[in-house]
Amino acid sequence: AQSVTQLGSHVSVSEGALVLLRCNYSSSVPPYLFWYVQYPNQGLQLLLKYTTGATLVKGINGFEAEFKKSETSFHLTKPSAHMSDAAEYFCAVRTPNRDDKIIFGKGTRLHILP
Amino acid sequence: NAGVTQTPKFRILKIGQSMTLQCTQDMNHNYMYWYRQDPGMGLKLIYYSVGAGITDKGEVPNGYNVSRSTTEDFPLRLELAAPSQTSVYFCASSPDRNSYNEQFFGPGTRLTVL
């Protein structure tokens, strides 16, 4: 069965500092992986996704993530945090050609310190 | 193109009351989903549908019902509201079964049961 683990329910970084949000997955086959962002009082929107090909994926707002099969990880990074990045971030996994559903992690709330 | 719309945005129910949460998408997506989001718990799948006339249970279906009479609409019904159903509800859609397609989310309905 698929599962997603996000380390840290809350992460705080200073404005201008590196953002690193961790995601590890469990899947019996190479999965498709997603990062979603949720701003306060809004729905989720896609930041980036990995399906096949290049393992370093770039998304919106300067975020990127790297698929590391050997570590079963898909960590989200951004070189320099901005106040507008304060939000909740969800990692998600979907099994190719097998399932109609996405499994979401529990989320990590990112706080940006001035 | 409005995407996924949900009504109402907020609702307070008394225990035992019933209500329907509306969800409509104008992207001609076959797949639609209902999630609930509770603090620190991520998103839990309630029901999903792979096309008009077809619905299936997700992870937490008890206390809810759905129908899918058209491609566009996927209402969620609460028959006897309970305090445990206090949550934020999100509707989502995706084009087809291809796993690389992300889900598109509505803005959510915040429900309180007192």
Q: What is the pLDDT of residues B61-70, one digit of tens each?
A: 999 999 999 9
CA B74/CA B14 separation, integer angstroms? 24
Residue A95 has pLDDT above 80, yes or no: no
Residues of B in contact with A107 (CB under 8 A): 40, 42
Instruction: Give the pLDDT confidence score for residue B100 in this predicted structure.
Output: 63
Residue A98 has pLDDT above 70, yes or no: no
CA A66/CA A6 separation, integer angstroms? 15
Tell me the nearest-neighbour CA distance from A85 into chain B, angstroms.
19
| Nearest-Cα residue of chain B relative to residue A43 | B107
Instruction: Give the pLDDT confidence score for residue A100 in this predicted structure.
Output: 63
| Nearest-Cα residue of chain A relative to residue B96 | A100
* Beta carbons within 10 angstroms of residue B2's beta carbon: 9
CA B75/CA B89 separation, integer angstroms? 12
The torsion of the CA quartet B102, A59, A43, A80, rounded to 10 degrees, works out to: 160
pLDDT band at A101 (very low <50, low <70, confident <90, very high): confident
Beta bridge partners of A38: A44, A88
Instruction: Give the pLDDT confidence score for residue A16 in this predicted structure.
Output: 97
What mean pLDDT is reported for chain A?
91
A contact test, residue of B56, B89, B103 with most A CBs within 10 A: B103
The residues of chain B scoring below 70 in pLDDT are 97-100
Instruction: Give the pLDDT confidence score for residue A35 in this predicted structure.
Output: 96
B contact test, residue of A98, A104, A108 with most B CBs within 10 A: A104
Residues of B in contact with A43 (CB under 8 A): 4, 90, 105-108
